[in-house]
Structure 1
Amino acid sequence: MDRLARMRTRLSGAAVVGVGMLLLGAAAYVFLALAGHALDPQGFTAVSSVYFVVAIVGPGLFVAVEQAANREVSARQAAGHGIGPVVRSASQVAAGLAVVVAAALLLLSPVLVDRVFAGSWALLVAVVVSVVGAAAVYTLRGLYAGARRFGWYSATLGAEGLGRLLPCAALVLAGAAEPVLFGFAFVVGAGFAALVTVAGMRGHTGADLPSPPVDRRGLGREVGLLATASGLTLLVANLAPVVVASRLVTDAATAAAFASLFVLARTPLFLFGPVQALLIPGLSAAAAAGDRGSLRRQTGIALGLVGVVGGLGILAAWIGGSWAAQTFFDAPVPIAGGYAAALCAGTLGMMAAQILQAVLVALRASRTATLAWAVGTALYVPILFLPLPPVLAATIAQVVAPAVVVALMLVGVRSGARKLTAPALLAG
């Protein structure tokens, strides 16, 4: 009965988070569509560049704060402790990361402004503003996910989507056609989400419970490791079409068709981010209790579901991947179904790696996750440039690198699980 109740709780949490994620994802696509119709090509290119840079800063870096805070809160609640020290330490670590990221953007400003933002320093300021918002909202998401308060977690997603979409729609209705206005309309979403959902923390830090201090330096090191892993994940997830295009300068049609097929194959990965937020609390509780059986069951169920969904996706891609690319993205030439199926297999590997990374976070083995992605990336990049047809080389790279990452993570999970012979101690 307890197991059935836990399953219902997880399914309801997944449904609630899914609603927020769909709203956030839809807002991004609608924003790009509205900006594309309102701006000239140069202005739209600059604004779309803001979109991509913000995506790297948020999901690419500050998700590390979310994961680390999620794990700490989950472990403390399982031990019956208050989470006040986690709130303070995670906020401080996020602020420190924001300073580092903002400084890096300023150092790169001559290149970014001249070549990416069409000479607009205001758009660079907009991206720096997005850093502050990302630091705040991803910290809140980690706290809410760790406490299994998925309604508030979903609210941060939905509020970020609305905070982007409504200002952009207002600009279109007002007939505005300034790239800077659209840039700021997009970046204020994260900050808006943090402001309207921070109230959910009031009275829920467990002030009346014992609250051991957090090892802030240890938390900062973990965030650094997870940020590195996330950055390498983004590299493996997005570099192939760029390399293929650079190697097929005289065959733009094939390069465009591969990019369309690649985007389709990667679609499940774009919607997979919150899955880690759902997994980490239960995994962290099992790890804190030294419950290897529960850890193994949760991991097996998650991997099994991904395997089933991924297997169906591979079959569908083999049969209709090329047709879908030509129908939905107007791909100029067809590409054999085997390539589509292989790219989906690579996506399946990356989803499995994200699940295993959540397990490693719960086991306090973030270093292993980062090492696995580093090794996978070290193999991935050279394979892209093998003296083979560019599309074939890129497809091989997309299959091999995630497979290596998964294999290394499995070794790390087994090693970490074997050490769970007694309740784990809290950091600090």
Structure 2
Amino acid sequence: MNAPDAADGHGPAAPGAADAPGAAVTAKRSPLARIASALPPGTLLVITGTVVLGAASYIHLMAAGHSLDTDGMAALSVLWTILMSVGIGLFFPVEQELTRIVAAHRVAGTGVSGILRQIAGLTLGMIVLLGAGLAWAAPLLADTFFYGHTEMVGALGLAFAAMGISNICRGVLAGLGRFGPFGWQLGIDGVLRIGLAVGFALAGVRSPLAFALILTVAPLVAALVTSVPVFRGLAAGPFDRWSGLLGGLGPLVVSTLLSQVVVNAAVVSTKLLAPEDGALVAGLLNAIVLARVPLFVFGSLQASLLSGLSTAAAAGDRAGFSRLLGRTSVVVIVLGLAGGVPATLLGPWLIEVLFKSEAGLGHAVFFWISAGTLCYMLAMVLGQALLVLHKHRLQLLGWAVATLVLIGATLLPGEVSTRVCVAYTLASFAAVLGMAAALWATFLRRPRAAAPVAAASGDAVEPALADRS
């Protein structure tokens, strides 16, 4: 296995390193440098790649919008929405589990080839099942969502496969602490999307299929370029019990799907509650895009956070685990306020100028979306901690309760735009309360002496801090 190279900044620092005697030098650094040092190691490398990939998403859709007719753009938009909701719900948990397990194996000094083969096989099975389902329902899906274009259903299946492969690669890289290749993979993916989309637009391409296939080609090429050198150095390692793998991954998949419902329900709910008010639906989508800018940055924090928490837990470093969790929560709060305050104050004006919105949304809508986004990010941080401590079902329970709160609040009487945004905030806040209570009850209020992690046998290495009561 390739050990992380601390000298190149790709490997996570040892827990507690921030409290070393040299910390006096840190106090002399700029405020920006001190904030950066509070982030999990390698985060800034991943942020750079995330920024490029995020910008590529906008440019890709803008280029398609200027090139395709109304039906073609609508078909691409539906494909994009399905991929980003169902795909993330199914395959991002694979990345999270790989990050957690690989980081634990790395601390124990055991190889990860066995567990990698298992999870890769499981992911391949998911891709095959998805592909079979899409093929079986292709005529119906094409008529319902893609204006009869069956080839768009095939493009969706290929995009699912590319996303699954990319998430496997990123899970291994994050678990190994190789955030350099991780960030490069994101950046190369983004650059390819921009180049292909702009190239198609300049060449006068009018096919939605061509723009859809970008979602397959770019991530696959990026994964191959950045992951092959690292994967070649993986050492042989044990397999895990399938019951253990599925027992953790199953609840995590459901949790992620429910979290996607919470974060994406506002626009869908508005379409159902006010189907004739197209301006409101479009304006609310613009408001959400604007107010959720902090989520754009937070996405780059998750991989390094999970790797850092997994490393501390596997090493039995309770203090390091708690310190990283606390610092990340503070960073998330600062991030939420930095994005939410300007969005609340300037949002109504900005969506008119930037998006030509005619919805007439007020400051209250932006406040509720921003507050919901802050709570959602905190819930994601606490959920990561529960995941590392093998409390998958408690994380699932938190998102299940949040989904029920979301449904209940959405069905209350009142103005549609206000209640769907309030529902998002209340649901996210319910998830924070539930996960914080679970984390407190199972870990934070039960101090234990740190124990070194046991060597792995045939099972995956479990965090030494995990509460097994």
1:270 matched residue in structure 2 = 296
Runs of 5+ consecutive residues of structure 1 not aligned to the other structure: none
How many Å separate the matches in 2 of 1:249 and 1:93? 40
> Counterpart in 1 of 2:273?
247
Q: Is the 8 A contact 2:291 2:370 kept in 1?
A: yes
Deviation at 1:64, TM superposition (A): 0.6
Aligned partner (choices 191, 199, 223) of residue 194 of structure 1: 223
1:113 equivalent among 133, 142, 145: 142
Per-residue deviation at 1:289?
Answer: 2.5
Match of 1:123 among 152, 160, 184: 152
Q: Summarize the Cα distance change of 1:171–1:334 in structure 2 as closer, same or farther, 3 Å threshold.
A: closer
Give me the TM-score of the superposition, normalised by structure 2: 0.84
Q: Quick check: 1:157 aligned with 2:186?
A: yes
Residue of structure 2 in register with 1:367 after alignment:
393
Distance apart, 1:314 and its partner CA? 3.3
Aligned to 1:2: 17
Deviation of 1:423 after TM superposition, in Å, equals 4.2
State the Cα distance separating 1:57 from its structure 2 match: 4.0
Give 1:132's aligned residue: 161
When residues 330 and 170 of structure 1 are mapped into structure 2, their CA distance, relative to the original with a 3 A threshold, is closer
Distance in 1, Cα, partners of 2:70 & 2:220: 28
Report the AA paired with residue 41 of structure 1. T
| Partner deviation per Cα, 1:76-99 (whole Å, 9 max, x = no partner) | 111122222222122112212222
Deviations 1:245-295 (A, max 9, x none): 332345444444333222222232234223110111111122112322111
2:263 alignment counterpart:
237
1:109-133, Cα deviation, whole Å (9 max, x unpaired): 3442112112111111111111221
Q: Which amino acid aligns with 1:383?
A: A
AA of the residue aligned to 2:110: H
Cα 1:36–1:335, aligned 2, differ >3 Å: closer, same or farther?
closer
Paired residue for 2:120? 91
Q: Would you say 1:304 and 2:330 are equivalent positions?
A: yes
Contact 1:318 1:340 in 2 (8 A): yes
For the 8 Å contact 2:113–2:238, the answer to whether it is kept is: no
Deviation, 1:4, is 6.3
1:145 equivalenced with 2:171 (yes/no): no
SS of residue in 1 equivalent to 2:42: helix
Q: Structure 1 10/403 Cα, relative in aligned 2: closer, same or farther at 3 Å?
A: closer
Q: Matched residue of 1:272: which SS?
A: helix
User: Which deviates further from its counterpart, 6-15 or 124-133?
Assistant: 6-15
In the alignment of these two chains, the number of paired residues is 425
Counterpart code for 1:178: S
Please state if 1:27 is matched with 2:56.
yes
The answer on whether the counterparts of 2:40 and 2:305 sit within 8 Å (CA) in structure 1 is no
Contact 2:59 2:197 in 1 (8 A): no
C-alpha change, 1:250 and 1:181, in structure 2 (3 Å) is: closer
Q: Return closer, same or farther for 1:163/1:224 CA change in 2, 3 Å cut-off.
A: farther
Partner of 1:219: 245
Quote how far apart the aligned CAs of 1:336 are: 2.6
Distance 1:131 1:217, change over 3 A: farther
Task: Give distance in 1, aligned partners of 2:358 and 2:226.
Answer: 45
RMSD: 2.4
Cα distance between partner residues in 2 of 1:158 and 1:235: 28
Q: Corresponding residue for 2:102?
A: 73
Q: Report the CA distance between 1:42 and its aligned residue.
A: 0.9
4 and 123 in structure 1: CA distance in 2 versus 1, 3 angstrom threshold: farther
Matched, 1:413 2:435: no
Give the stretch that moved more between structures: 176-185 or 8-17: 8-17
Return 232-241 or 160-169, whichever deviates more: 160-169
Does 1:63 find its partner at 2:92? Answer: yes
Instruction: Quote how far apart the aligned CAs of 1:372 are.
Output: 0.8
Which residue of structure 1 aligns with residue 358 of structure 2? Answer: 332
Q: What SS does structure 2 have at the residue aligned with 1:364?
A: coil
Matched, 1:322 2:348: yes
Cα distance change, pair 362–11 in 1 and its aligned pair in 2 (3 A) = closer
Is it true that 1:401 corresponds to 2:430 in the alignment? Answer: no
Provide the C-alpha distance between the structure 2 equivalents of 1:172 and 1:214, rounded to a whole number of angstroms.
48
Q: 2:234 pairs with 205, 218, 222, which one? A: 205
Which residue type is aligned with residue 262 of structure 1? I
Task: Tell me the amino acid that sits aligned with residue 132 of structure 1.
Answer: A
TM-score when normalising by structure 1? 0.92
Q: Residues 330 and 364 of structure 1: is their aligned pair in 2 closer, same or farther, counting only changes over 3 Å?
A: same
CA distance in 2, matches of 1:351, 1:165: 28
Task: Report the AA paired with residue 111 of structure 2.
Answer: G
> In structure 2, how many angstroms separate the alpha carbons of the residues matched to 1:292 and 1:60?
30
The one of 379, 382, 401 equivalent to 1:353 is 379
Question: Once the 2 structures are TM-superposed, how far is the Cα of residue 156 of structure 1 from its aligned partner?
Answer: 1.9
Contact 1:23/1:157 (CA < 8 Å) preserved in 2? yes
Ranges in structure 2 where 5+ consecutive residues have no aligned partner: 1-15, 24-35, 461-469
TM-superposed deviation, 1:203: 4.3
